[in-house]
Copies of this chain bind each other. A is one copy, B any other.
Amino acid sequence: MAPSLDTIFAALSDPTRRAILTMLLEDDMAVTDVAEPFEMSLAAISKHLVILANAGLIAQEKRGRVKWCKLQPDALREASVWMQGFGQFEAINLDAFERFLETELAPADLPGPDEEPGEEASGR
Docked pose: A112 CA to B73 CA in angstroms: 21
Tell me the number of copies of this protein: 2
A81:B106 contact, CB within 8 angstroms: no
CB contacts (< 8 Å) of A22 on chain B: these are 85
Main secondary structure of the interface of A (DSSP, over half): helix
Within A25-79, which residues are at the interface with B (CB < 8 Å)? 25-26, 71, 73, 76-79
Q: How many chain A residues touch B (Cβ–Cβ < 8 Å)?
A: 51
The closest CB in chain B to the CB of A78 belongs to B96
Question: What residues of chain A have their CB less than 8 Å away from a CB belonging to chain B?
Answer: 4-7, 9-10, 12-15, 18, 21-22, 25-26, 71, 73, 76-94, 96-97, 99-100, 103-106, 108, 110-115
